[in-house]
Structure 1
Amino acid sequence: MTIAKTVGLAIIGTALAVGGASAQQKTIKIATEGAYAPWNFTGAGGKLEGFDVDIANELCNRMKAKCEIVAQDWDGIIPALTAKKYDAIVAGMSITDERKKTINFSLPYASGPNGFLVAKSSPLAKMPGTGQTFNLATQKEAAEKAIEAVKPLLKGKSIGVQGSTIHANFADKYYKGAAEIREYKTTEAHDLDLAAGRIDAVLADSTALIGTLEKPEFSKDYVLVGPAMSGGLLGEGVGIGLRKEDTELKKAFDDAIQAAVQDGTVKKLSEKWFKIDISPKG
């Protein structure tokens, strides 16, 4: 979508007067977590970097909008959006029915399954289903059969997940009782406990785990295992979180995302940060 470079002050004033954010306002404030590498993280000098940051800047350029990107802790990221502390969330957030009760989402700008990160020396390194991918929405029976095959190996083990995420919900539904589920404030926190041997596995988005495996302390001795799951309670892909009333801003983001997917820009950025293509398909 192309939005005119020159926008009348009267139009801007009207857009702001109704209380909703729009792509025509002077600055669109965007929140990201800043602690979910390689999706988003705080780099040298406190600068926000990552796939989400590149995506946000790309979409803002396409919308001819000035954007400001700020860091926000994950557990307060939706409440702060609805409180109008910023206008959008670009933070690797999966589109789920539960979240849609509170906020709206753009079209997906990425899609990726989850997986387990474990030590190569662990019995969990031989987890069944490794290398297989399932969609809980379209392959429910096969997906749940693969999940059941994993459970015996998890008995007596501990799994780290980031709280208030689809992965925490997934672990609670499918693995609670088979393993101890421990929730953490950030992915960095559960990665540290895995490296220290305080938990046996981490369950997270496979793209985030790929980023973890690039760190020196994980690259040699850890491995990504288990059946890769998507769909169902894991959501419809990753989208931009928006307030329900901001329909104009949603349309602007939707059009920009669609164009960036179609011309291969999202694919290029995902390969830059994840070494794989996680752009939406279909």
Structure 2
Amino acid sequence: MMKKTLCLAFLSMMATSALAEPTLTKGKISFAADFAAAPNQFIRTDGQKDGLNVDMCGEIGKRLGQEVEWTNLAFPGLVPGLQAKRFDSLCTAIFINPDRLKIMNMVAYVQWGEGLMVPKGNPGGISCEGKIGVPASYNACFDGLAGKVVSVAAGGTTNKNLQAQSDRMVAAGKKAIDIRAFDSNSEAIQAAVTKQVDAAYLNDPQAAYYISTSKAPFDMAFTGNAANRLAITTLKDNTELANMIVKALEAMRADGTYNKIVEKWGVAPVDAFVLNPQ
């Protein structure tokens, strides 16, 4: 348990009403993430951790007066690891959905869309008049993937959304998308690089970051599908910590730190840090 003096110091700093003490290892808060997901979080060539969530949750930990510890785990193991109480919170590229809200507290903190990374020049001619917030406007893009092999990170919202589009196409009498799910976004990208697949379906910032930093011969056929809110999560029985994360984020927005982080990593801010948005 965190000492009462630490909780009181935090409350004084944040000028908020009293909150119960979260269950943390004394002096430390432990976050978990899949570090094969640049620019969300990744390991630099010098071995140091970097990325949107390293900056964001590192600052949250600082404002809670806690030393931050990280666990690097492939995405499919993150929620089970949290349920097993191996760490206090997930600070990774995890989207909010009804199933996850049943088992975790989720604090909305940034948002972005999903897109398709294809070989340069878009030889498959994948195109549509996509409009963020109007999922059906992207159907024509997915229709162009009938019978194509597409990589995606397993277990995430991108995987679920791609499968839903494939199911829609089959129901309409079209060929399914041949979906190849990998443990990480890095592996999904590598499958495209090595031409194991025709395209990779990724979160927009991850795809854009890879293309810009690697100078690889790829383009984005489309971006912006599914305006997704990302969350920092805790277990349902640790709402106290979730509330403290909200207060820390609000203080970060008030002094400009939050905006600097989202601008640095090219993601969109949220209007409010909502706990368990429906």
TM-score by length of 1: 0.81
Identity %: 21
Structure 2 gaps of 5+ residues are 1-5, 12-19, 171-175, 273-278
1:41: how far off?
0.7
C-alpha displacement of 1:252: 0.4
1:166 aligns with one of 134, 154, 157? 157
Contact 1:109–1:261 (CA<8 Å) still a contact in 2?
no
Equivalences for 1:202-213 in 2 at 5 Å? 202-213=200-211
Is the 8 Å Cα contact of residues 34 and 72 (structure 1) preserved in structure 2? yes
1:252 aligned onto 2:253: no
| Cα separation, 2, equivalents of 1:272 and 1:90 | 17
Whole-Å Cα distance in 2 between the matches of residues 147 and 6 of structure 1?
A: 45
One-letter identity of the residue aligned with 1:256: A
CA contact (8 A) 2:91 2:232 kept: yes
The equivalent of 1:128 in structure 2 is 128
What is the CA distance between 1:127 and its match in structure 2? 1.5
Deviates more, 1:53-62 or 1:43-52: 43-52
Aligned residues: 252
Change (3 A) 1:172 1:56: same
Alignment correspondent of 2:17: none
SS of equivalent residue, structure 1 residue 93: strand
Q: Structure 1, residues 82-131: CA drift from partner, whole Å, max 9, x if none?
A: 1111100101111111111222112x1110011111112333355223xx
Partner residue, 2:23: 21
Equivalents in 2 of 1:66, 1:192: separation in Å? 34
Q: 1:46 maps to what in 2?
A: 47
CA contact (8 A) 2:233 2:242 kept: no
Alpha carbons of 1:151 and 1:71: their partners in 2 closer, same or farther (altered >3 Å)?
closer
Please identify which structure carries the higher strand content: 2
Map 1:180-219 onto structure 2 (within 5 A).
180-218=178-216
8 Å CA contact 2:154–2:183 kept in 1: the answer is yes
TM-score under structure 2 normalisation? 0.82
Output the CA distance in 2 between the equivalents of 1:69 and 1:37. 16
Give the distance between the partners of 2:109 and 2:255, measured in 1 at CA.
13
For residue 213 of structure 1, report the CA deviation from its aligned partner: 0.8
- The residue identity in structure 1 corresponding to 2:118 is V
Correspondence 1:1-282 to 2 at 5 A: 4-5=8-9, 15=21, 21-22=23-24, 25-106=26-107, 108-129=108-129, 132-135=130-133, 139=134, 143-144=135-136, 146-176=137-167, 177=170, 178-218=176-216, 221-231=217-227, 235=228, 237-274=229-266, 277-281=267-271
User: For residues 225 and 266 of structure 1, do their structure 2 counterparts lie closer, same or farther at Cα, with a shift above 3 Å needed?
Assistant: farther
RMSD: 2.4
1:105–1:239 contact (8 Å) kept in structure 2: yes
Shift of 1:47: 2.3
**Higher mean C-alpha deviation, range 37-46 or range 111-120:** 37-46
Matching residue's letter, 1:266 = Y
Does the 8 Å contact 2:113/2:223 carry over to 1?
A: no
SS at match of 2:219: strand
Inter-partner Cα distance in structure 1 for 2:126 and 2:42: 31
Q: Matches of 2:120 and 2:257 in 1, distance apart? A: 35
Runs of 4+ off more than 6 Å: none
